[in-house]
Amino acid sequence: MARKYFGTDGIRGRANAAVLTPELAMKVGQAAGCHFLRGDHKHRVIIGKDTRLSGYMMETAMVAGFTSVGMDVILTGPLPTPAIAMLTREMRADLGVMISASHNAFPDNGIKLFGPDGLKLSDEDEEAIEALIASKMPLATGGDIGRARRIEDSRGRYIHAVKGSIGQDARFDGLKVVIDCANGAAYQVAPTAIWELGAKIFAVGVEPNGTNINDNVGSTALDAVKAKVIEEQADIGLALDGDADRLIVVDEKGETVDGDQLMALIATELAAAGKLKGGGVVATVMSNLGLERYLEKLGLPLVRTAVGDRYVLEAMRAGGYNLGGEQSGHMILLDHATTGDGTIAALQVLAALVRSDKKASELLHLFDPVPQLLKNVVYADGDPLAHADVKAAIAEGERALDGRGRLVIRKSGTEPKIRVMAEGDDAGEVERVVDAICDAVTKAAA
């Protein structure tokens, strides 16, 4: 069944325009509430958000939706996406909601849903909720209408949980850490957690005003954290995105360390300690071939999935793995969290740095990435990938890279873009392949 609202990571779009309106948010609340009204206990939902101006509007609309079908609502205020997943499970809620558009600019917003187990909903659940949105839903009346309340200790609960992910004796004394919170959901909890473990903190992106989330800060705009690392002569820089479910690292020289290098480090650490479950690592088709080759030398297979941390998690659970992630910085450590958690991943990296007694530049660059190029082509409508000339260009690219690289073509799940990625040992050939396919897509989309 084709889905109208849900993409690869919930519902996302321009807030108060086109699809993502308060009316839709209320209907999603009603539909999700009805779908999870199971059993005769009093049902409850946890709602968190990032720091976008539109978060107030979306939160209020969703409260109206959930309470109107008989669900009680617990509001946390700004918290990372993984914190909402954790609290949903910890507080025995029937459903968790994160209002966020992740790394997108502030005019956008989104709705992510978690089941009572703290896991993102399955395709089947999302399809059932979409079907309910289009139907007439039964409303609660009288004393059956839900209540809403705000809890004040949610930040403390989350900080305690993430600190527990590295053991009681771990300390970061003497470490100079720059942390960029993207003026987003982790602006309070991430610096506090790392400071409590003894590090000296230099914070960037911790002054949200409703409109500056991800604005030249965070994991998709690294100039600010790089500059601060050099200015303060810090040991390491950490950059989160708007909802803090992804992490990108900067070493003491100001060089970028992406999710693939972080997976290599964490896999190496876990394997050495005998704690890597499943005998390998799960990543998406976008992860660099260099990571795959590095893990092969350790005797660890790399299992690839479609793009999206939900698909990484599905493969992890199916195969018994406890480590997975994405090049973009989503790190899932299933022993500690049910979804990507940038703060937990950051603590693993800092703990490894302390244990190694090495500089970040020595520790964090474990393999040489294969030349990789990703370009995006915007299209208005239709299906450019179905065009004969595009198919021919893709086939020619696959022939050129056969045995020497990989080609990945996909539609974005959140934007009207075709993403063209190629990698191989010959950088020139990779560029020629990508440019030829992008040109074909551009002409087909015209």
Within its chain, how far is the Cα of 415 from the centroid? 16
Q: What is the mean pLDDT of residues 40-57?
A: 96
Q: Which two tokens stand for residue 244?
A: 């803090």
Rounded to whole angstroms, how far apart are CA atoms 81 and 66?
19
Cβ(337)–Cβ(82) below 8 Å = yes
Q: Are residues 244 and 268 in the same domain?
A: yes
**276 and 295 part of one domain:** yes
Q: How many residues can be counted in the chain?
A: 446
Q: Is the pLDDT of residue 8 over 80?
A: no
- The answer to whether residues 194 and 247 touch, using CB atoms and an 8 Å cutoff, is no
Q: Are 63 and 75 in contact (CB under 8 A)?
A: yes
Average pLDDT for the chain: 95
* CATH classification at residue 267: 3.40.120.10
339/420 same-domain check: no
Residue 5 lies in a domain: no
Q: Pick the last residue of a domain from 102, 125, 152.
A: 152
Please say if 102 is a catalytic residue. Answer: yes
Domain boundary among 152, 172, 188: 152
Rounded (5°) CA angle 89-94-95: 80
pLDDT at residue 291 above 70?
yes
The whole-model pTM stands at 0.92
CA distance 415 to 403: 31
Question: What share of the chain has pLDDT > 70, as a percent?
Answer: 99
Segment 242-256 mean pLDDT: 98
Residues 6+ apart with CB under 8 A from 43: 33, 36, 37, 70, 71, 72, 94, 146
Same domain, 328 and 246: yes
Write out pLDDT tens, residues 149-176: 999 999 999 999 999 999 888 999 999 9
The sign of the CA dihedral 127, 129, 130, 131 is: positive
State the CATH number of the domain containing residue 409: 3.30.310.50
> Is 4 a member of any domain?
no
Tell me how many domains the chain contains. Answer: 3
Spell out a b/e string for 1-24, using b for 16 or more CB atoms within 10 Å of the CB, else e.
eeeebbbbbbbbbbbeeeebbbeb
Phi, psi of 166, deg, nearest 5: -120, 10
Q: Is residue 6 part of a domain?
A: no
Reported as a single tens digit per residue, the pLDDT across 351-386 is: 999 999 999 999 999 999 999 999 999 998 788 999
Whether pLDDT at 1 is above 60: no
**340 is written with which tokens?**
């990507």
Asked if residue 79 belongs to a domain, the reply is yes
Residue among 54, 102, 154, 328 flagged as catalytic? 102
The runs of H, that is alpha helices, within 273-359 are: 289-297, 309-319, 342-356
104 and 23 assigned to the same domain: yes
**Which residues constitute the domain of residue 379?**
372-445
HSE-up of residue 5 (Cα within 13 Å, Cβ side): 25
- b/e code 168-181 from CB counts within 10 Å (16+ = b): eebebeebbbbbbb
- Kindly give the pairing relationship between strand 44-49 and strand 95-99: parallel
